[in-house]
């Protein structure tokens, strides 16, 4: 009994001693944390003037506190967004923060940032050592960014790129890499963003908010101003980040930032709920490495990086303006006045007929381009100019220099001159028919060729080059008030069409047998094209487009379908395939015909699907039935 009491007494003593030690440790921890907090607050206040350029008036933003618009001017140097122009003030910012935004949100920011700085300090130390070891130089990277009401501040990051990488270039425009080995890891895990907890602690950023723009991203700044996103404090993460980060185009980023800003401004409750949603979404996005891009726009950038395509080639190709990246809003009842430049063309007359039947709200005129009288016509009364005038494909191997020059005069010079006149006369949209021919010839028999988002145009002859030069020249005229839509379609067929399709149709009607060759081609039925034209004109948008049928075409399948429609009952057989192989080896016209009939050339379907535009009114089978019945 005595021994038991002694043990109980010892246990009680030990328990009390443990409690006392815990209290002492807690008190000591509290004192250390409190002291650390006060020291950090003192350092933050001391650094704040330098971090916000308070003592450097020349570094401050003259647009601070103002509403702005971006004014494009091709004579000015390009900014960090790749746009030529400048910002102009159009008013004053009138944002008044809610109670939540001003006090509660700031309280959360201080607590979370201080806690993060303390808890993650081992990661900070390990990352600093790794950066130093991998690429000697500073551990932290400082960059001038746009803060609340467009004030400037110094944003901090762990350095993820080599010391020679340009500072004031946004991530999505870095095509040539520069990321170190350690940098790739810390970017993938978002560790490079951790020093921004200090920016948050200092009060220049928030945990949740639009990502701060570079000081020279004028276009992004102006786009955000449309939605009031520059009024709120920038953040470590936000709606645009969990929706795709650098994969999103500037306009989409700005809209998403505007959605967040609207919620934050509307009420304290709405702002709080939005912040909770963004915080949880950011954790999920980071865990799944969602949307991290190393130098381009999403998957396309990764393909470009692998292919090693030069920047100038991508710029010429217009990759950043491909239509599949955009969202379109179509009012099919909107009245439009359209001028077709080029009389009696197959595409122009087909478009006019289709619009008359399906879009009576489109008023269409045509002007002949053969003589110079079109230059005297006033384009100012039209919303859209649709340019179809041009010289069609010729036997490029048997022409003289004078003929070649004529192709350039018509397909290039005339097209650009027409676009220049349209812009000068105040036309809102210019639609130009380029061609798949700018990517060179199709692959020969037994080979394949596919045009993807990273394929750079490379004309194989003067005809293709004349279209390519026009394609580039016209796109250079695009501006905020003059949208240029360029179409690069594959072979077009339908009632009244010329070229390869009528030849195949004749063979299907006359031959008893036909080779069964595996190949694939992109094609575009005229009805699908004309429907696309109507919708893209009603959208008023610019960009580069690759309209095509929803399915690829196999030559032998097409011949069989034609035969079925006209009831000629042709037979497909692989027994003839050896003769096709032999024909492909014979120099001259024989091999040319074989390659033309059985070669492959396709456009990646991803380039031809557009959010908001549903233009494929006919499938392959329906299109052939309609074409042959119309021919009949």
Residue 474 near residue 484, CB atoms below 8 Å: yes
Domain extent listing, the chain: 52-308, 318-631
Whether the predicted pLDDT of 246 surpasses 70: no
Band of pLDDT at residue 288, cut at 50, 70 and 90: low
Whole-number Å distance between alpha carbons of 453 and 320: 10
**Which percentage of the chain shows pLDDT scores above 70?**
88
Arithmetic mean of pLDDT, 424-437: 95
Three-state DSSP class for 422?
Answer: helix
* 283 vs 529, residue with greater confidence: 529
CA dist list (Å): 228 to 95, 96, 232, 261, 599: 9, 12, 8, 7, 53
Check residue 314 and give its pLDDT.
Answer: 64
- Look at the pTM and tell me if it is higher than 0.85: no
Whether the predicted pLDDT of 308 surpasses 70: no
* 386 vs 20, residue with greater confidence: 386
Whole-number Å distance between alpha carbons of 525 and 506: 18
Arithmetic mean of pLDDT, 278-291: 67
Band of pLDDT at residue 297, cut at 50, 70 and 90: very low
Whole-number average pLDDT of the chain = 86
Arithmetic mean of pLDDT, 470-487: 94
Band of pLDDT at residue 320, cut at 50, 70 and 90: confident
Whether the predicted pLDDT of 269 surpasses 60: yes
Whole-number Å distance between alpha carbons of 77 and 411: 30
Check residue 258 and give its pLDDT.
Answer: 92
Sign of the four-CA dihedral 475, 477, 478, 482: negative
CATH superfamily of the domain spanning 318-631: NAD(P)-binding Rossmann-like Domain (3.40.50.720)
Three-state DSSP class for 559?
Answer: helix
Whether the predicted pLDDT of 440 surpasses 50: yes
Write phi, then psi, for 477 (nearest 5 degrees).
-85, -10
Q: Per-residue b/e over 169-187, b at no fewer than 16 CB within 10 Å?
A: bbbbbbbeebbbebbebbb
Check residue 172 and give its pLDDT.
Answer: 45
Check residue 291 and give its pLDDT.
Answer: 41
Check residue 187 and give its pLDDT.
Answer: 81
Check residue 84 and give its pLDDT.
Answer: 77
Check residue 90 and give its pLDDT.
Answer: 93
Whole-number Å distance between alpha carbons of 525 and 617: 9
Arithmetic mean of pLDDT, 218-239: 92
Check residue 498 and give its pLDDT.
Answer: 81
Band of pLDDT at residue 441, cut at 50, 70 and 90: confident
Highest mean pLDDT among 85-89, 149-153, 315-319, 600-604: 149-153
Whether the predicted pLDDT of 456 surpasses 80: yes
Band of pLDDT at residue 564, cut at 50, 70 and 90: confident
Whether the predicted pLDDT of 395 surpasses 70: no
Arithmetic mean of pLDDT, 55-65: 92
Assigned token pair, 613: 């535009």
Arithmetic mean of pLDDT, 423-429: 96
Arithmetic mean of pLDDT, 328-343: 93
Sign of the four-CA dihedral 363, 369, 373, 374: positive
Check residue 394 and give its pLDDT.
Answer: 57
* 359 vs 247, residue with greater confidence: 359
Arithmetic mean of pLDDT, 190-214: 93
Check residue 396 and give its pLDDT.
Answer: 58
Q: Helix/strand/coil (H, E, C) string of 90-157?
A: EEECCCCCCHHHHHHHHHHHHHHHHHHHHHCHHHHHHHHHHHHHHCCCCCEEEEEEECHHHCEEEEEE
Band of pLDDT at residue 62, cut at 50, 70 and 90: very high
**Which percentage of the chain shows pLDDT scores above 90?**
50
* 512 vs 595, residue with greater confidence: 512
Three-state DSSP class for 592?
Answer: helix
Check residue 299 and give its pLDDT.
Answer: 46
Whole-number Å distance between alpha carbons of 530 and 249: 28
Closest CA to 108 of 237, 349, 326, 272: 272
Highest mean pLDDT among 116-130, 176-190, 242-256, 570-584: 116-130
Whether the predicted pLDDT of 615 surpasses 60: yes
Check residue 223 and give its pLDDT.
Answer: 94
Check residue 590 and give its pLDDT.
Answer: 78
Residue 548's contacts (CB-CB under 8 Å, 6 or more residues apart) are 489, 490, 522, 523, 524, 528, 603, 605, 608
């Amino acid at each position: 009994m005595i021994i038991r009491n002694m043990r109980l007494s010892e246990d009680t003593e030990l328990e009390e001693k443990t409690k006392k030690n815990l209290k002492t440790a807690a008190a000591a921890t509290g004192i250390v944390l409190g002291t650390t907090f006060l020291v950090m607050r003192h350092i933050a206040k001391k650094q704040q003037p330098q971090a916000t350029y308070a003592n450097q008036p020349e570094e401050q933003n003259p647009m601070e506190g103002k509403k702005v618009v971006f004014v494009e001017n091709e004579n000015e140097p390009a900014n960090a967004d790749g746009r030529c122009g400048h910002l102009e003030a159009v008013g004053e910012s009138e944002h008044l923060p809610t109670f939540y935004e001003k006090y509660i949100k700031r309280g959360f920011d201080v607590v979370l940032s201080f806690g993060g700085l303390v808890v993650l300090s081992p990661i900070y130390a390990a990352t600093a050592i790794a950066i130093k070891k991998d690429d000697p130089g500073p551990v932290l990277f400082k960059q001038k960014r746009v803060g609340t009401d467009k004030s400037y501040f110094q944003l901090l990051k762990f350095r993820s790129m080599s010391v020679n990488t340009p500072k004031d270039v946004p991530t999505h425009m870095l095509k040539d890499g520069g990321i170190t080995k350690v940098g790739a890891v810390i970017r993938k895990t978002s560790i490079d963003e951790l020093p921004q907890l200090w920016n948050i602690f200092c009060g220049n950023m928030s945990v949740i908010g639009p990502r701060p723009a570079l000081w020279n991203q004028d276009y992004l700044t102006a786009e955000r101003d449309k939605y009031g996103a520059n009024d709120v404090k920038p953040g470590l993460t936000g709606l645009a980040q969990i929706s795709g980060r650098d994969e999103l185009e500037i306009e989409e980023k700005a809209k998403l930032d505007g959605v967040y800003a609207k919620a934050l401004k509307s009420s304290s409750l709405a702002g709080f709920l939005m912040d909770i949603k963004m915080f949880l979404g950011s954790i999920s996005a980071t865990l799944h490495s969602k949307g991290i891009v190393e130098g381009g726009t999403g998957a396309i950038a990764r393909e470009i990086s692998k292919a090693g395509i030069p920047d100038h080639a991508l710029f010429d190709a217009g990759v950043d303006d491909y239509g599949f990246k955009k969202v379109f809003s179509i009012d099919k009842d909107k009245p439009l006045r359209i001028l077709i430049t080029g009389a009696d063309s197959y595409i122009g007359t087909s478009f006019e007929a289709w619009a008359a039947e399906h879009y009576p709200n489109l008023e269409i005129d045509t002007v002949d381009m053969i003589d110079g009288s079109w230059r005297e016509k006033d384009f100012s009364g039209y919303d859209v100019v649709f340019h179809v005038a041009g010289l069609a494909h010729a036997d490029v191997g048997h022409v003289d220099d004078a003929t070649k020059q004529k192709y350039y005069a018509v397909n290039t010079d005339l097209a650009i001159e027409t676009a220049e006149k349209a812009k000068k006369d105040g036309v809102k949209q210019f639609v130009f028919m380029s061609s798949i021919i700018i990517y060179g010839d199709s692959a020969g028999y037994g080979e394949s060729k596919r045009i993807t988002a990273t394929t750079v145009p490379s004309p194989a002859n003067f005809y293709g080059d004349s279209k390519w030069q026009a394609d580039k020249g016209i796109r250079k005229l695009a501006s905020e008030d003059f949208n240029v839509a360029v179409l690069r379609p594959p072979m077009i067929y339908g009632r009244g069409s010329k070229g390869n399709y009528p030849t195949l149709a004749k063979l299907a009607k006359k031959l008893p047998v036909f080779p069964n060759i595996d190949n694939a081609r992109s094609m575009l039925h005229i009805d699908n094209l004309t429907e696309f034209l109507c919708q893209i004109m009603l959208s008023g948008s610019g960009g580069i487009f690759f309209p095509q049928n929803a399915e690829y075409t196999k030559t032998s399948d097409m011949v069989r379908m034609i035969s079925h429609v006209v009831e000629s009952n042709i037979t497909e057989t692989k027994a003839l395939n050896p003769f096709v192989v032999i024909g492909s080896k014979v120099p001259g016209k024989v091999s040319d015909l074989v390659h033309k009939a059985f070669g492959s050339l396709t456009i990646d379907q991803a380039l031809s699907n557009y959010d908001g535009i549903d233009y494929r009114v006919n499938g392959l089978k329906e299109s052939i039935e309609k074409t042959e019945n119309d021919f009949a």
